[in-house]
Chains A and B, each alone.
Chain A
Amino acid sequence: MEQKLVALSGNEAVAYAFKQAKPHVAAAFPITPQTEMMHKYAEFVANGESTTEMILVESEHSAMSAAVGSAAAGARTFTATSSAGFALMWEVVYIAASLRLPICMGMVNRALSGNINIHCDHSDSMGGRDAGWIHLFSENAQEAYDNGIMAWRIAEHMDVRLPAMVNYDGFIISHTADALKMLPDDAAYDFIGKYKHAYTLLDPENPITVGPLDLTDYYFEHKASQLAAYDKVPGVVQKVSEEFGAMTGRTYDFCEEYKMDDAEMVMVILGSSAGTAKDVIDEYREKGVKVGLLKIRMFRPFPVEYIAGKLAGRKAVAILDRSAVFGGQGGPVFIEIRSAMYGQQVPLFNYIYGLGGRDFDLHQVETVINDLQKVAAGEEPKQISLLGIRS
């Protein structure tokens, strides 16, 4: 298939991907911390390139509320947010998932206040990791675009019907022009498919109730059905990713493995930092150091067995978290992986890095690989360290 090579910012890439799904409705708060993603989308609508109805509201809480109303009415719906905007949506983020509404959301990962910061870390989406959404992470503009296409198919699958967020790193990806290949509009829409609703509020012949009072009698059963739906996500993600790979030549799974076949030491990472790590891993590989990378693409649902299988038998594993858990045992990725690895004798250790956009540079990758070598040689790892902190 002919794919157009372009240079776009991550925001533009996701805006195009969402436009290609021909959503009926976009609900958004139009002021910061909203990003250029919605700005670009509003341009499409203003220029007549998209027929999406834009609902501009007075807060992110209202944005997600409007998205919930729209999706419950039976419309293909999306929104986008970032940082404190996501925090303000909080209550309704849970409702979207509880009502099984396949809303898609562009999530530009940026730090939370305070102090005031506009730059990248994963504190925003990580705070919502237990809300029942599907979380896909992107290394670059290409992956943000590709996830932006696949998210619809995954979220709207009749076995799933859950909201999905496409995470991409604030500024590092969202505002960086990167080369990527885009699908023609027709091919993208054919892949995503015409929207089918499971239920609609607007069908008087088949009236339904959405979001009623649900107390000690049935609330628990409804949560059980939500949990069961979540279990269907991994299979759908794999199937959709395989189809996407056959069409585009770009393959995706729960994770990307980089030089993992014979790796004795492994770095686990999310997002844009993976690309920087790959460049340094290549340098160490030339010196004969057997180090590899496991980049997590699907953080929710967390692919427990898959990741435990990939890390089994390694001599040392370093897990990098771009967010902190106050009072917890390491960052969210570390907590998940250590739990997934329960019973295995693989030395694991954790770095918290890059908070508030602190540059994840080549030296930090070197530090990680040097530490991995020490641990692989038998040294006891420090469980949790801060990487790239000023001394």
Chain B
Amino acid sequence: MAGQMVEIRWHARGGQGAKTAAMFLAESVLDKGKFGQGFPEYGPERRGAPMRGYTRISDTPVRRHCMIEHPGIVIVLDPSLLDSPAAGVTAGTGKDTVFLVNTTETPAFIRKKLGVDGATVHTVDATGIALDAIGRPIPNMPMIGALLAVNDMMTVDDLNASLVKQLGSKFSQKVIEGNVAAVERANKELVSE
């Protein structure tokens, strides 16, 4: 029997790092004794095209390999997707869904815009934070930092250790440090109402 499972859907545009984030998160939780599965939805691969990613986190091995139909958490990396019915940000969601949106708007504004009365909406300016801390508008890692403010799958320190471990060989020390700083800021600056 499947244990407690968190199902996350990522909405982004190609190039914003949603695929990396979805798969990175799945690997990061292994050190916490949890099991992860991460995958993007593949279609035409173009920078800027709307895309989705998926992550499952569970206490027991994840066996199912279907799409996530009813996500517990929806993470929106690009606020312009909120205006796109084709992006399907609210598809399969309900009152129990938690939305985490990268935006400078307030949760109340986003809730109204999405038409999700009663759902929990958190916002954070992940792009602004990424520009400040990393120097590039890649909001994926700060959004994971923000996610850890609403879910205790691991701590911010765990995430940062994972960042160094998984990405240390691919990116410069400066980029890693920037991401660590961005994660910590986003974790603190998440707005909830």
Contact = CB atoms under 8 A, between A and B. Distances in A.
Given A7-B27, A9-B23, A282-B2, A177 B65 contact: no
A119 B42 contact: yes
B62 interface: yes
A278 B62 CA distance: 11
A273 B62 CA distance: 13
B39 A275 contact: no
Interface string A174-202: 01111100000000000000000000000
B30 A5 contact: yes
A172 B65 contact: yes
Nearest to A9: B23
A251 interface: no
B36 A118 contact: no
Interface string A336-378: 0000000000000000000000011110000000000000000
A276 interface: yes
A227 B151 CA distance: 58
Contact of B64 (A6, A118, A171, A275): A275
Interface residues on B, range: 20 to 34
Interface string B5-37: 000000000000000001100110010000111
Contacts of B22: 177
Contact of B30 (A118, A119, A179, A361): A179
Nearest to A172: B65
A362 B39 contact: no
A272 interface: yes
A64 B104 CA distance: 55
A354 to B, nearest CB: 10
Contacts of A231: none
B23 A177 contact: yes
A282 B40 contact: no
A321 B104 CA distance: 49
Contact of A7 (B1, B23, B65, B69): B23
A173 B26 CA distance: 14
B66 interface: yes
A179 B39 contact: no
Given A7-B23, A9-B23, A360 B42 contact: no
Contacts of B62: 178-179, 275
Given A177-B26, A282-B2, A171 B63 contact: no
B168 interface: no
A362 B1 CA distance: 14
Contacts of B65: 140, 169, 172-173, 176, 272-273, 275-276, 360
Nearest to B28: A7
B66 A177 contact: no
A174 B30 CA distance: 20
B69 A276 contact: no
Nearest to A363: B69
A172 B67 CA distance: 9
B13 to A, nearest CB: 19
B38 interface: yes
A40 B37 CA distance: 20
Interface string A1-19: 0000111010000000000
Given A118-B42, A279-B2, A282-B1, A177 B67 contact: no
Interface residues of A, number: 28
Contacts of B61: 179
Contacts of A7: 23, 26-27, 30, 36, 38
Nearest to B69: A361
Interface in A267-314: 272-273, 275-276, 278-279, 282, 286
Contacts of A173: 65
Given A119-B42, A278-B63, A279-B63, A6 B30 contact: yes
Nearest to A275: B63
Given A177-B27, A279-B63, A171 B39 contact: yes
A60 to B, nearest CB: 21
B66 A276 contact: yes
Which of B22, B23, B35, B36 is packed against the most chain A CB atoms within 10 Å? B23
B36 A177 contact: yes
Interface of B: 1-2, 22-23, 26-27, 30, 35-40, 42, 61-67, 69
30 contacts: A6-B27, A119-B42, A140-B65, A172-B39, A173-B65, A175-B40, A176-B38, A177-B23, A177-B26, A177-B27, A177-B37, A177-B39, A178-B26, A179-B26, A179-B30, A179-B37, A179-B62, A275-B62, A275-B63, A275-B64, A276-B66, A278-B63, A282-B1, A282-B2, A286-B1, A359-B66, A360-B65, A360-B66, A361-B66, A361-B67
Interface of A: 5-7, 9, 118-119, 140, 169, 171-173, 175-179, 272-273, 275-276, 278-279, 282, 286, 359-362
Shortest Cβ-Cβ A-B pairs, 7 listed: A7-B27, A275-B63, A176-B39, A177-B23, A177-B38, A272-B65, A276-B64
Given A177-B37, A272-B65, A278-B63, 16 more contacts: A7-B26, A119-B42, A172-B39, A173-B65, A175-B39, A176-B65, A177-B22, A177-B36, A177-B39, A179-B30, A179-B61, A276-B64, A279-B64, A361-B66, A361-B69, A362-B64
